[in-house]
Amino acid sequence: MVGSLLRDIHNIAKGMPDVSIMEVCGGHTNVIMRYGIRSLLPKNIKLISGPGCPVCVTSQKDIDSVVALALSGVPIATYGDMFRVPGSNMSLEDVKVNGTKIFEVLSTTDVLDLAKEHKDIVFFGIGFETTVPMTAYLLEKNICVYSTHKLMIPPMKALLKDEIKIDGFIDPGHVSTIIGYNVWDELNVPQAISGFSPKQIFESVYEILKMIKSGQKSVVNCYDSVVTCDGNIKANDLINKTMKVSDAEWRGIGVIPNSGLEPKDDECNAKIKYQEILKNVKSEKDNSACRCSEILKGLIEPKDCKLFGNVCTSSAPKGACMVSDEGTCSIAYRYS
Ligand code: SF4
C-alpha cells in the first residue's frame, strides 16, 4: 500500500516545478525523520518543518516570568518538557534545584491534587489547541494559570506572507481533533490533515500534490478516524467559556496578533494577579549563536546551525528546539 502511494507520488510529481510542503506538528516531523520520508520523495518535492513544537515557541520572557514567580515563592505546576527550556539566566530545572515549590505534572488531576495542599498554585499552561481544553478545565475549577497557549492558524498565515515559499501544509492531526477541519479553509492553500503513520503522511503529500496540479486550494481530511468537521464541540465550549484570544509572543518569531489565549477571569490570570512581581522581570536576547528563529520558520535545517550536534545536544541543549521531543533540532539529533 505504501509502495503504491509512493509510486503515485513519483508519477504525479513528474514535470512539476519544485514544491515545498510544510508540516507544522512536531509529531509529524518526528515520523518524517524517523522513517526517512524526505529521502523517499521525488527530488522536486520538499518537506519543511515549521513552528510545530509548543515548547520551542515559548518565549524566553515567559520562561523568565515563571522562574521569577517560582523564586518569589509561588508554587508552580507544569509539564515535564518545560523544565529544561533555557531562560535568560535560569531554566525551571535550575529553579527546582534551588528548593522552590515547582512540580512536574502529567495531567489536570495532578494539578487539582496539588491544589489541595498549595491553594495558590499556578499552572504554567503550554501548548496549541490540543492541550488548551485541559487548561480550560482547570480555569473552570478556579485554578490560577500562567498561559502561553497558542493558536496554530495565525502563525501559518504569517508564514505565508514571509520570505519562505510554501505551496501547501500538512495540517496537525491532534490540533484538528479539537478545532475540526472546516477552519483550515481560511488559509486558502492546498492542505491535508494527517495522522501519524508514514502511510498517512504519504497520503497527505499525495493529496496536496493533486490539489497543486489541479489548481485547487482546499483541505483534505486524511485523518477522518478522529477529525470531524467541527471538532470537539464540548472542548471548544469550555475554552470559549474560560479563555479569550490575545496577542502572543513566539520565540524567534515575535508577537503575532490574536495567536494566543489568556484566562477570561483576571483572578485566575497569573500575569495579572502577580503583576507586581512580573513587572521587574528583565529578559535578555536569545543566545545569538542559536538559530532557532530560522528553524521555526523553516528557513534552515538543524545541520545549518554550527552548534548542532557538538555544542548543542539533547543532553546539553543551547536552544529551545533541542529541548522538547517535538523540537526540530532534537528530532534531527535523534535520527541523524
Ligand atoms: Fe538552537 Fe541548538 Fe538548534 Fe542550533 S542546534 S538552532 S543552538 S537548538
Q: Quick one: average pLDDT of 276-280? A: 94
More confident residue, 314 or 210: 210
More confident residue, 213 or 323: 213
Banded pLDDT at 34 (limits 50, 70, 90): very high
Average pLDDT over the chain reads 94
Q: State pTM to two decimals.
A: 0.91
pLDDT at 288: 75
Residue-by-residue DSSP string for 223-282: -TTT--SS--HHHHHHHHHHEEEEEEEETTTEEEEEEEEEESSGGGBHHHHTHHHHTT--
Residue nearest ligand 1's atom 7 by CA: 290
Residue nearest ligand 1's atom 5 by CA: 308
Banded pLDDT at 89 (limits 50, 70, 90): confident
Determine the Cα–Cα distance for residues 292 and 319; give it in Å rounded to an integer.
7
* Distance from the alpha carbon of residue 300 to the mean position of ligand 1, in angstroms: 11
Determine the Cα–Cα distance for residues 207 and 40; give it in Å rounded to an integer.
17
Quick one: what percent of the chain has pLDDT higher than 90? 80
* Distance from the alpha carbon of residue 182 to the mean position of ligand 1, in angstroms: 35
Q: Quick one: average pLDDT of 309-319? A: 89
Determine the Cα–Cα distance for residues 256 and 111; give it in Å rounded to an integer.
29
Return the closest-CA partner of residue 179 out of 123, 115, 237, 125: 237
Asked if the model's pLDDT at residue 309 lies above 80, the reply is yes
The two beta strands, 168-171 and 76-79, are: unpaired
Q: What does DSSP assign to residue 73?
A: T
Banded pLDDT at 12 (limits 50, 70, 90): very high
Residues within a 6 A CB radius of ligand 1: 290-292, 295, 302, 305, 307-308, 312, 318-319, 321-322, 329
Quick one: what percent of the chain has pLDDT higher than 70? 99
pLDDT at 257: 95
Is residue 83 classed exposed, middle or buried when 0-12, 13-18 and 19+ CB atoms within 10 A define those classes? middle
Q: Quick one: average pLDDT of 17-37? A: 96
pLDDT at 324: 84
Determine the Cα–Cα distance for residues 49 and 53; give it in Å rounded to an integer.
10
Phi-psi region of 216 (alpha: psi -120 to 50; beta: other; left: phi over 0): beta
Which residue type is seen at 256?
I
**Which of 287, 288, 312 for a ligand 1 pocket mutation test, highest count of atoms within 8 Å of Cβ?**
312
Give the number of the atom of ligand 1 that is nearest the alpha carbon of residue 295: 6
Go through the domains of the chain in sequence order and give each one's CATH number: 2-52+163-216 (3.40.50.11750), 60-151+231-278 (3.40.50.11740), 292-335 (no CATH)
pLDDT at 212: 97
Length of the chain counted residue by residue: 336
What is the SS3 assignment for 290? Answer: coil
Question: pLDDT digit string (tens) for 106-125?
Answer: 999 999 999 999 999 999 99
Is residue 112 classed exposed, middle or buried when 0-12, 13-18 and 19+ CB atoms within 10 A define those classes? middle
Question: pLDDT digit string (tens) for 216-254?
Answer: 999 999 999 999 999 999 999 999 999 999 999 998 788
Banded pLDDT at 316 (limits 50, 70, 90): confident
Determine the Cα–Cα distance for residues 151 and 265; give it in Å rounded to an integer.
19
